[in-house]
Structure 1
Amino acid sequence: MMSGMLYRLSVVHRKLEDEIRRETLREAPDTFRLLRLKKLRLAVKDRLSGHWRRAFAAV
């Protein structure tokens, strides 16, 4: 079962993926916005993986 924090982080990660995809498909993508979105996505991914590791280490 997924904890509330893992669920929220996965939702944020999915939204960032969508934003990155939309920005990339624009005629003239904003490279600074893309960089910021990708950094945020990586930070969320790092938090997600940390939570998963702790969850499985406790089992």
Structure 2
Amino acid sequence: AIQAHLVELERKHQSLENELHEALVHLSTDDLQIVELKRRKLMVKDEIERLKQSTYATLH
């Protein structure tokens, strides 16, 4: 279950990465939208790291 959650989070992180890239390419994108995408991407990355750490801790 944790592994599936990790895979889903990594997929979401990649999706946000793609969305951020598209926003940066289009000059008409609002700066606040870019900041929000970066914030969401960082939150997902932090959650991935927390899950990996807790999984590692329970295995060792």
Extract structure 1 runs of 4+ deviating beyond 2 A: none
Mapped partners of 2:3, 2:27: distance in 1: 39
Give the Cα separation in 2 of the matches to 1:26 and 1:44: 24
Structure 2: runs of 5 or more not aligned:
none
Higher relative contact order, chain-length normalized (CA < 8 Å, sep 6+): 2
1:5, CA displacement in angstroms? 0.5
1:26-41 matched pairs, under 5 angstroms:
26-41=26-41
Can you give the 5+ residue segments of structure 1 that lack an aligned partner in the other structure? Answer: none
TM-score when normalising by structure 2: 0.88
Percent identity of paired positions between Structure 1 and Structure 2: 24
Match of 2:49 in 1: 49
Flag the structure with higher helix content. Answer: 2
Aligned-residue CA RMSD in angstroms? Answer: 1.2
